[in-house]
Amino acid sequence: MAFIDFKKVSKKFGTKVVLDELDLSIEQGETITIIGGSGSGKSVMLKLLLGLIEPDSGEIIFRDTNIVECEDAQLVHIRSKIGMLFQGAALFDSLTVFENIAYPVREHYHYSESEIGGIVSKKLSMVGLPGIEDMYPADLSGGMKKRVGLARAIATDPEVILYDEPTTGLDPANTIRIDDLIVEMQRVLKVTSIVVTHDMQSAFRISDRMALLNKGKIEFIGTVDEVKKSTNPVVRNFILGEVGNIEGRV
């Protein structure tokens, strides 16, 4: 049985159909990247998995639990198992780095302040930013904000990490740094990673599998090598439109 399973999931907003009986099975411990055009429903899938919005029909299974049927208390418990790195890092500007990372820990657990301090310190070290607990988001570069956001995402030792456009707005050096951290988090923490991105080069670097979302369904799913070698015209057009001639660039 898949670790996470989207089964015949449909979602529309007004008259716009975003997901149309979508099926996607995700295995425990893999990094799967969801690619597709703007407005194709990639971020909607993440919100559905978190229970922030409900599908019009279908099931979303996390372990053996159908998220669609969960009461609020169950959803809170499930969310404690899922960390998320938001597109803009989404740090609280009025809180220090320490308080930002401590926030989800305090929400879900009852640790002492010294235990929380140890958690924050450990997670900052894991993302290569030790000792910046007293800084504020305004003091940080874009790349540092992303890494603090990742430290917050792993603060509760989640089983799943969701990445929503993790490299958007970053220069090439910071993009590679974030890619390396995504790979490292999967290796060290044994997490399942679901990445939404427009950045094909990043997707090629980090993914075990890639899934192309098109017209509300998964058009294609496969390994990086299978994606690159695919003869599916939708896959080819998307990849070529994103990165040019992949044979010469990858």
Mean pLDDT of 119-135: 94
**Per-residue pLDDT at 54:** 93
Shared-domain flag, residues 66 and 89: no
Shared-domain flag, residues 152 and 90: yes
Q: pLDDT band at residue 250, thresholds of 50, 70 and 90?
A: very low
The answer, as to whether pTM is greater than 0.85, is yes
Mean pLDDT of 109-119: 92
Shared-domain flag, residues 112 and 67: no
Q: Is residue 169 part of a domain?
A: no
Shared-domain flag, residues 185 and 63: yes
**Per-residue pLDDT at 1:** 66
Shared-domain flag, residues 193 and 70: yes
**Per-residue pLDDT at 109:** 83
Cβ atoms of residues 73 and 26 within 8 Å = no
Q: Is residue 22 part of a domain?
A: yes
Place of tokens 């159909």: 17
**Per-residue pLDDT at 167:** 87
Q: Is residue 92 part of a domain?
A: yes
From 123, 157, 191, the end of a domain falls on: 157
Mean pLDDT of 149-171: 91
Range of the domain at 148: 82-157
Residue type at position 55? P
**Which CATH number does the domain housing residue 198 bear?**
3.40.50.300
The two structure tokens encoding residue 127 = 């993302």
Shared-domain flag, residues 63 and 9: yes
Kindly list the distances between the CA atom of residue 113 and the CA atoms of 32, 110, 168, in Å, as whole numbers in the listed order. Answer: 35, 9, 34
- 172-189 and 142-153 are packed helices; what angle lies between their axes, rounded to 10 degrees? 10
**Calpha distance 111→106 (Å, rounded):** 7
From 101, 124, 157, the end of a domain falls on: 157
Cβ atoms of residues 17 and 216 within 8 Å = yes
Tell me: pLDDT of 141 over 80. Answer: yes
**Calpha distance 136→95 (Å, rounded):** 6
**Calpha distance 220→227 (Å, rounded):** 8
Cβ atoms of residues 192 and 29 within 8 Å = yes
Mean pLDDT of 24-33: 96
Edge-to-edge strands, sheet with 57-62:
16-26, 4-13, 57-62, 65-66
**Per-residue pLDDT at 77:** 87
Mean pLDDT of 60-75: 91
Q: How many distinct helices (H) and strands (E) make up the chain?
A: 10, 10
Q: Is residue 170 part of a domain?
A: no
Shared-domain flag, residues 90 and 212: no
Shared-domain flag, residues 66 and 116: no
Q: Is residue 236 part of a domain?
A: yes
User: Which neighbouring-strand residues pair with 31?
Assistant: 193
Shared-domain flag, residues 54 and 6: yes
From 157, 190, 206, the end of a domain falls on: 157
Q: Is residue 46 part of a domain?
A: yes
Least confident of 60-64, 112-116, 236-240: 236-240
Q: Is residue 206 part of a domain?
A: yes
Mean pLDDT of 173-198: 91
**Per-residue pLDDT at 37:** 81
Q: Is residue 112 part of a domain?
A: yes
Q: How many domains does the chain have?
A: 2
pLDDT above 90 covers what percent of the chain? 62
Tell me: pLDDT of 246 over 80. Answer: no
**Per-residue pLDDT at 88:** 66
pLDDT digits (tens, 9 = 90+) for 73-99: 888 888 889 998 877 668 889 999 999
Tell me which DSSP letter residue 27 carries.
-
Tell me: pLDDT of 247 over 60. Answer: no
Shared-domain flag, residues 58 and 125: no
Shared-domain flag, residues 38 and 56: yes
Mean pLDDT of 115-144: 93
Q: What is the mean pLDDT of the chain?
A: 89
Tell me: pLDDT of 49 over 90. Answer: yes
